[in-house]
Amino acid sequence: DSGVTQTPKHLITATGQRVTLRCSPRSGDLSVYWYQQSLDQGLQFLIQYYNGEERAKGNILERFSAQQFPDLHSELNLSSLELGDSALYFCASSGNLRGDYGYTFGSGTRLTVV
Amino acid sequence: GQNIDQPTEMTATEGAIVQINCTYQTSGFNGLFWYQQHAGEAPTFLSYNVLDGLEEKGRFSSFLSRSKGYSYLLLKELQMKDSASYLCAVRGAGNKLTFGGGTRVLVKP
C-alpha cells in the first residue's frame, strides 16, 4: 500500500456518460497529480493541484476537469466519454510543490468506455 | 516542450547487467527520475538525479549528464522479478513531470 488511495479500481461505462474518479493523497502530501496511461503508452500528465489550487496543466481535454478539496482529496471528472478515453488513470502525490524525490502513485482506476 | 527518448524493449539474462538509456530535450531542467512499473500496476520510484554523476542504490544505479541531456539506469544481478517497464521522467519548467514511453525489460532464465 503506497498510501495513495484511488477509487474505484475499475469502471465500465458507456459513451457519452460522465464519471468521477477519486484520489486521497498520502498523509501530509499537499500536491496531487493526475496521469492518463492508455494501452502500451506512456504516462500522460493531465493536471496538478497543490493545497487546493491548480498549479500545472498538461494536455488535459476540455471534457475533463479536476479539483482538490480542503481535505486535500482530489477528483477527476470525465464527461462526454469516448471510446478513446479508455485508459488507466493514475493519481500521484508528493510532499511539496516541486515533487522532490519523486511522486507516490496510487494503484490507478481502469476506465473502460463501451 | 519536452522530448524524452528511451528504447522500447530490452532482453537480458538472469544474473546479467542491463543499461537503459534515456535522452531528453527540455525547456528547463529540475531533475530526472526513474520509475519501475509492472504491467497494470502503479509506477514505483527508483531514483532521482538532479546533479551530474552516478547515484547508487543497491542493485540499481542511475547516471545523469545534464550537458548531454542523457541519463541511464543500470540494473545489476538481474532477477526474474525485474521484468517490468522502466520509465524515465524529466521535471522541467513549470514543475511538470514528463514521462518517456518506457522501456520494457524482459529477464530470461
Of B40, B95, B100, the CB nearest to A98: B95
Please give the full DSSP string across A66-78, using - where no structure is assigned: EEE-TTS-EEEEE
pLDDT band at B38 (very low <50, low <70, confident <90, very high): very high
Grid cell 522530448 is found at: B3
Distance of CA A4 to the CA centre of its chain: 11
User: Which residues have C-beta within 8 Å of that of residue B1, sequence separation ≥ 6?
Assistant: B27
DSSP state of B58: T
pLDDT reported for residue A67 = 97
Q: Which residue of B96, B98, B103, B104 to mutate against A (max A Cβ within 10 Å)?
A: B96
Please state, in angstroms and rounded to a whole number, the distance separating the CA atoms of residues A90 and B91. Answer: 18
Gap from B42 CA to chain A (nearest CA, Å): 5
Q: Tens digits of per-residue pLDDT, B44-94?
A: 999 999 999 999 989 999 999 999 999 999 999 999 999 999 999 998 876
Chains A, B: CB pairs < 8 Å: 56
Number of H helices, E strands in chain B: 0, 11
A106 reaches B (C-beta below 8 A): yes
Is residue A2 a contact partner of residue A94, using CB atoms and an 8 Å limit? Answer: no
Average pLDDT of chain B is 93
Going by C-alpha positions, the residue among B96, B75, B99, B77 that lies closest to residue B88 is B99
pLDDT reported for residue A37 = 94
> Mean pLDDT in each 10-residue stretch from start to end of chain A (114 residues)?
92 97 94 90 90 91 96 97 96 78 89 97
Q: Which residues pair with A7 in a beta bridge?
A: A22
Residue B95: list chain A partners with CB under 8 A.
48, 55-56, 97-99
pLDDT reported for residue B62 = 97
**Coil, strand, or helix at residue A111?**
strand
User: Which residues have C-beta within 8 Å of that of residue B96, sequence separation ≥ 6?
Assistant: A45, A48, A56, A58
pLDDT reported for residue B105 = 97
